[in-house]
Structure 1
């Protein structure tokens, strides 16, 4: 009888074939590989790292979306074995693979985007939150279409953004590594309902509430452009970024 290891969470399954779904993290059989205690047999190919949760995918191209945190392929970078010297030849040969790697050097913040639909709340970790204009005060967020929070924002037209501090890495894991379709992400979490009804983490650095003005289909994701309707500072501390989060994980 074979042993199969989930490449996402490490769960070991025994059977003639991989399970239809991992009972721990929910990914499908394509994320399982035959496993022995001495040798873990993986399909040959390039190794791609998710810049949000550090999940590593093996294959010629990155996955359409991360099976762990849900971000799309553009947030994966190609893992290189060594540093490449920058030469004219290297510039001439640059392509999409190397561009994905370069994207790892763009600085991002980490935020919790929440929404409400039919008195049900949900939230997710999000890196694409940015201010568009100051008069009027307008922001934008970008969410994966597969995510439950995307559905809530699309249907209700409202959301809130809780900004995280440097010590709130657990919030990234809670809201980014699991789906609200399977768990109540707010169980045991202290939060308040904002003026628009969306949950706000009580220990956030700051928050804003927003009403969607316009949406733009950008393929796997939707870009939501919204007017800020309320918000305030909570704590004057350093904000959590991708780079800092990865260094804390390491």
Structure 2
């Protein structure tokens, strides 16, 4: 609660007014409670790209997805977040928006996946990377077929994952919003070439290097699922990793 001194205007925060105003010296009887405004309701709509999962906030979907370039017809309106009681009706009365809103609650990290084609290097932001088995160490990643990095992984059969920290939001913007066909994403970014020949971001939290299993490549529609053996890796900094939920909360700041 907030309390205002009626004599000098000093504001005190606490469950009760102070015994003495630190500015003018009057007692608690000279303080009045200040009404705090109710939080404003969030009315902005959230639209999700069904191709790359980009989230757009606004009254209408964007004309062009900044990640994959599709038009507004590929965006679906997410359901407003609200508490609902689980009943037979709420189970049956669903839409694509309610389903995708639920999928947004699946925990994701954000990573920079890099690869090479000969001497050329490229990288992109991904959120689909997860461990499959412990013996052998094996993970899976999903890449959009239209992305340049997808082409490089198919050609070289290898990739590296730079795991980002919570203060690496700018790396998501650099590697996730434009294609490597039109910009050099590594311009001004420090990196080290790994054992696979793939670049690893020097300021990453941790890294992994992988070799794909060509007999386990899966076509999943717009994307390809790559299963890969982990052949190298190390933690570089002991800090919190960047999550997709945290990125969405601050991407417009």
TM-score range, shorter chain: 0.7 to 0.9
Equivalent-residue separation in structure 2 for 1:164 and 1:236 (angstroms): 11
For the structure 1 residues 82 and 231, does the alpha-carbon distance in structure 2 shift closer, same or farther, using more than 3 Å as the test?
closer
Tell me, what secondary structure is at the counterpart of 1:108? coil
Q: CA contact under 8 A between 1:68 and 1:177: conserved in structure 2?
A: yes
Please list every run of 5 or more consecutive structure 1 residues that lacks an aligned counterpart in the other structure. Answer: 1-45
Q: CA contact under 8 A between 1:77 and 1:103: conserved in structure 2?
A: no
Deviation >4 Å, runs of 4+: 50-53, 56-59
For the structure 1 residues 169 and 99, does the alpha-carbon distance in structure 2 shift closer, same or farther, using more than 3 Å as the test?
same
Q: Which moved more, 1:232-241 or 1:47-56?
A: 47-56
Per the alignment, residue 234 of structure 1 pairs with: 236
For the structure 1 residues 208 and 166, does the alpha-carbon distance in structure 2 shift closer, same or farther, using more than 3 Å as the test?
same
Q: Which moved more, 1:92-101 or 1:214-223?
A: 92-101
Q: CA contact under 8 A between 1:76 and 1:100: conserved in structure 2?
A: no
- Residue 228 of structure 1 and its aligned partner are, at CA, apart by 0.8
Q: Which has the larger radius of gyration?
A: 2
Equivalent-residue separation in structure 1 for 2:172 and 2:53 (angstroms): 9
Q: CA contact under 8 A between 1:141 and 1:225: conserved in structure 2?
A: yes
For the structure 1 residues 52 and 219, does the alpha-carbon distance in structure 2 shift closer, same or farther, using more than 3 Å as the test?
closer
* Corresponding pairs, count: 200
TM-score, length of structure 2 as denominator length: 0.71
Tell me, what secondary structure is at the counterpart of 1:55? strand
For the structure 1 residues 182 and 71, does the alpha-carbon distance in structure 2 shift closer, same or farther, using more than 3 Å as the test?
closer
How is 1:56-205 mapped onto 2 (pairs within 5 angstroms)?
A: 58=60, 67-70=65-68, 78-81=77-80, 83=82, 85-86=84-85, 87-205=87-205
Kindly report the root-mean-square deviation, in angstroms, between the aligned alpha carbons of the 2 structures. Answer: 2.8
Per the alignment, residue 33 of structure 2 pairs with: none
TM-score, length of structure 1 as denominator length: 0.72
For the structure 1 residues 148 and 80, does the alpha-carbon distance in structure 2 shift closer, same or farther, using more than 3 Å as the test?
same
Tell me, what secondary structure is at the counterpart of 2:104? helix
Q: CA contact under 8 A between 1:52 and 1:242: conserved in structure 2?
A: no
Deviations 1:157-205 (A, max 9, x none): 1000000000000000000011000000000000000011100000001
Q: CA contact under 8 A between 1:162 and 1:201: conserved in structure 2?
A: yes
Per the alignment, residue 212 of structure 1 pairs with: 212
Equivalent-residue separation in structure 2 for 1:237 and 1:76 (angstroms): 34
- Residue 248 of structure 1 and its aligned partner are, at CA, apart by 2.0
- Residue 88 of structure 1 and its aligned partner are, at CA, apart by 2.7
Tell me, what secondary structure is at the counterpart of 1:105? coil
- Residue 69 of structure 1 and its aligned partner are, at CA, apart by 1.6
